[in-house]
Chain A
Amino acid sequence: MFEALAFYVFASVLVASALMVITARNPVHSVLFLILSFFNAAGLFVLLGAEFIAMILVIVYVGAVAVLFLFVVMMLDISFADLRKGAMQYVPVGLIAGGILLLELISIFAAWQFSPEASKNAAAPTPEGVENTVALGRLIYTDYVFAFQAAGMVLLVAMIGAIVLTHRQRPDVRRQKVSAQNARRPEDVLEIQKISSNSGV
């Protein structure tokens, strides 16, 4: 009973906040609702017994990605009304394309058939006596290690790309050199002189 109640709370808040993401007038509110929906999605994962994924969702999406999102959105001075102005003329085209796609998808899923081997292929029972964090770890780092490492290379490329396309060396800026500062000794730069009074330096 409690689980059903929790499910309905999480699910309804999730859907409501997801709706608010796209309808809120203020972009910052949109992002905040997005965060709320992430949070509720994490709650649903917990109910499913996938606590590791739930926590990772909160740590990665709520704790890092959405913060940067919010960071950027807060600093942008955009009015969504202006952005939407031109968008209206594309609505008919979008509706037609989306509608056709939707009809197609409905017709596919209405006639959906599974291969007789599908259930056997997809069956991946949780190993006995292992919590799902460990089971996930085994999958990622043993069975799918190749794809995991390759995905790491994809992220490396993304990082290189971001740096290549945006980083600029600015010659006119004086940079702090910590090692040079630390290496400075009083003997190198200080000279102690005796000044006799009334004669100036």
Chain B
Amino acid sequence: MELVTDFFSGLGFPQWLAMASASALQIIAFLLVVALSVAFVVYGERKILGAMQRRQGPAMVGPFGLLQSFADLLKLMGKETIIPTQANRPVFVLAPILMLVMAFTAWAVIPVNAQWVIADINVGILYLFAISSMGVYGVIMAGWASNSRYAFLGGLRSASQMVSYEVSMGLIIVCVLLVAGSLNLSDIVMADRPVWVQIMLLPMLGVFLVSILAETNRCPFDLPEGESELSGGFMVEYSGVLFTLFFLSEYANMVLMSAMTTVLFLGGWLPPFGVEALAFVPGVIWFALKVCLILFFFIWVRGTLPRYRYDQLMRLGWKVFLPFTLLWVMVVAGSLLVFDALP
């Protein structure tokens, strides 16, 4: 941050303009990277799913089909945006925009390397949690504004699903906070975690991975879309650019959640398992690799598991995860206290 600001000050900018330009530059850089990564996540998903199902996946556009996503994007942009006559127009248009904005806003606090963060605020994790809990509004608004049964059902499902899983996600975050002793994401990455503490957080990682599947409406919890019974759920009425926004934000959310997992559990930009010899690789590469690992998990699960039934989903969230995470918060807090390992 200072580096970029100094650069602009060097150009003779006044202080406030230098800071503003630096922030703007950083934001644009982040946006570009995230948007590009989304394109390749889509490509990667199709390739990996193809490999899992013994097909080729996209192969025609560009070398190895690498440009497929861009072709799709162009195609979607070229389509007509249909807004149903009975739809609630402002809300209908606002919903996908809101969702995409939320998916991108959250990146403001994610540290991709030491000091590489737009806003190094001291309640970063709460900010992240707050923004990710806002994501539900896009879905629920879309479902309601479409004025269609299928879309509405999708919206309702999504609302209850996300609220349910946020509860246990919150408790998981509390566990991590107890260990790190800070709400700042960079501090959480840098926090000194003994091995036994890491082992204790392992079950939380498992629960967290499942919860982010539910939070992003991804398979096997993609009931809000539920193309087999709701024929697309909350986005059944969307087309053209608005649909593209939903599509983008779904994948942007996936990347975001992967980044969140990386920061909370996988040590962010630090080399894996604290191996000093690997420290020569830039932190941002490690960060990207870890994010890719989680993204692969997303796709792998999609290729493997059938969709959950709705009541099963709720049972898992309320009757399994919630009690378990609650218990685990106590276990973590208690053992940190007993072994005098509180930060």
Contact = CB atoms under 8 A, between A and B. Distances in A.
Instruction: From B121, B140, B155, name the one whose CB has the most chain A CB atoms within 10 angstroms.
Output: B140
A108 to B, nearest CB: 38
A71 B156 CA distance: 7
Contacts of B163: 63-64, 67-68
Contacts of B127: 55
A68 to B, nearest CB: 7
B123 A2 contact: no
B234 to A, nearest CB: 12
Contact of B134 (A56, A63, A131): A63
A63 B166 contact: yes
Contacts of A178: 315
B121 A51 contact: yes
Interface in A49-70: 51-52, 54-56, 58-59, 62-64, 67-68, 70
B183 A133 contact: yes
Interface string A155-176: 0000000000000000000001
Nearest to B156: A71
A177 B135 CA distance: 33
A137 to B, nearest CB: 10
B327 interface: no
Contact of A32 (B141, B155, B170): B141
Contacts of B315: 176, 178
Nearest to A55: B126
Interface residues of A, number: 26
Secondary structure type dominating chain A contacts: helix
Interface string A65-90: 00110110011000000000000000
A44 to B, nearest CB: 15
B136 A67 contact: yes
Nearest to B127: A55
A35 interface: yes
B2 interface: no
Interface string B148-162: 000010011001101
Secondary structure type dominating chain B contacts: helix
Nearest to A26: B88
B144 A62 contact: no
A176 B144 CA distance: 31
Contacts of A70: 137, 140, 144, 159
Contacts of A68: 163
B306 to A, nearest CB: 16
A75 B157 CA distance: 13
Given A56-B126, A59-B129, A133-B122, A71 B311 contact: no
A128 to B, nearest CB: 16
B16 interface: yes
Interface in A8-61: 26, 28-29, 32, 35, 51-52, 54-56, 58-59
B260 to A, nearest CB: 14
B130 interface: yes
A178 B312 CA distance: 9
Nearest to A56: B126
A51 B311 contact: no
B45 to A, nearest CB: 28
Contacts of B126: 52, 55-56, 59
Given A63-B130, A133-B122, A74 B166 contact: no
B183 A63 contact: no
A71 B152 CA distance: 10
Instruction: From A29, A62, A75, name the one whose CB has the most chain B CB atoms within 10 angstroms.
Output: A62
A54 B131 CA distance: 12
B91 interface: yes
B144 A55 contact: no
Nearest to B90: A29
Given A2-B16, A133-B122, A133-B183, A67 B140 contact: yes
Contacts of B312: 176
A43 to B, nearest CB: 12
B219 to A, nearest CB: 21
B329 to A, nearest CB: 14
A32 B138 CA distance: 11
Q: Nearest 6 A-B pairs (CB), nearest first? A: A63-B133, A55-B126, A58-B130, A59-B130, A51-B123, A74-B144
28 contacts: A2-B16, A28-B91, A32-B91, A56-B126, A58-B131, A58-B133, A59-B126, A59-B133, A59-B170, A62-B134, A63-B129, A63-B133, A63-B134, A64-B133, A67-B137, A67-B140, A67-B162, A70-B137, A71-B140, A71-B160, A74-B140, A74-B155, A75-B156, A133-B122, A133-B123, A176-B312, A176-B315, A178-B315
Interface of A: 2, 26, 28-29, 32, 35, 51-52, 54-56, 58-59, 62-64, 67-68, 70-71, 74-75, 131, 133, 176, 178
Given A64-B163, A67-B163, 12 more contacts: A51-B122, A52-B123, A52-B183, A55-B123, A59-B170, A62-B130, A63-B133, A63-B136, A67-B136, A70-B137, A70-B159, A178-B315
